[in-house]
Amino acid sequence: MESPKKIAHEIGGVKRDALRFGLNGVKSDIVGSHPLESSYESGKKSHEAMKRTIIGHTYGSALPLKMDMDRQILSRFQRPPGPIPSSMLGLEVYTGAIDNFGFEDYLNDPRDSETFKPVDLHHGMEVRLGMSKGPVAPSFM
Q: Cα separations (Å) of 73 from 44, 49, 80?
A: 22, 20, 17
Helix 62-76 with 35-59: angle, nearest 10 deg? 130
pTM of full prediction above 0.85: no
CB atoms within 10 A of CB 81: 20
**pLDDT for res 103:** 72
- Tell me: the pLDDT tens digits for 5-61? 554 554 444 556 666 666 666 665 666 677 888 888 899 999 999 999 999 999 999
- Is the Cβ–Cβ distance between 71 and 91 less than 8 Å? yes
- Tell me: the pLDDT tens digits for 129-138? 888 777 665 5
**pLDDT for res 11:** 47
- Tell me: the pLDDT tens digits for 68-116? 999 999 988 887 777 777 788 889 899 888 888 877 677 766 666 777 7
Q: Which helix (H) or strand (E) holds 37?
A: helix 35-59
- Is the Cβ–Cβ distance between 140 and 24 less than 8 Å? no
